Amino acid sequence: MEAPREGADVTLTSGRRYEITAGGAADRLVIRGRRGEVVLRIEVTDAGPVLSFSGAELELSGARRIALAAPEVEVRADHALTLASGGSLHEHVTGDRHATIGGTARTEAAAVAVQASEGHVEVLAMRKIALDAERIGLNDNPTPEPFPWSRLARDAEDD
């Protein structure tokens, strides 16, 4: 049986180096590339593992599902961010949602519906507001009801 060690360094024939160290707060595995840069760092603490890695690309792939869950999740891109779904996209926000866009915001869909379930809808433009359609109805529905897809309609069905 081998005695416990405080650490070890192993340099592979590929030129990559594996450094393993034990510490009071965390045990650490660091994998370095051929030029000495950190490619992967794993720290194992009493609170759980922490993974840090860098490279030209990172790919995550799941055959059925990838789930991210944490008190805070942040996604940041310095140039472009693309979200694509072959099916539907659903957002559920229990607090406020605020989008700030430095350029133009556009929405294109087969149909667009907006419902304010508790308050009002405000539209403000510093210049012109244009509404163009075959028909524009104002106070067109004498007994408006919530959209069937809305939370208000679902809650009414449950009652």
Q: What does the pLDDT average to over 78-85?
A: 94
Q: Which tokens belong to 103?
A: 């350029």
Q: What does the pLDDT average to over 134-155?
A: 88
What count of residues does the chain have? 159
Contact 34, 11 (CB under 8 A): no
pLDDT in the model for residue 41: 92
Instruction: Place 156 in a pLDDT band, splitting at 50, 70 and 90.
Output: confident
pLDDT in the model for residue 69: 92
**C-beta atoms surrounding 142 within 10 Å:** 5
Instruction: Place 155 in a pLDDT band, splitting at 50, 70 and 90.
Output: confident
Q: Which pLDDT tens digit goes with each residue over 88-128?
A: 999 999 999 999 999 999 999 999 999 998 889 999 999 99
Alpha carbon distance 155, 159 (integer Å)? 7
DSSP character string of 109-138 = -S------SSS------SS------S---S
Alpha carbon distance 29, 11 (integer Å)? 13
Alpha carbon distance 92, 154 (integer Å)? 15
pLDDT in the model for residue 108: 95
**pTM (2 decimals)?**
0.63
pLDDT in the model for residue 145: 87
Q: Which pLDDT tens digit goes with each residue over 28-79?
A: 999 999 999 888 999 999 989 998 887 777 888 889 999 999 999 999 999 9
Contact 158, 152 (CB under 8 A): no
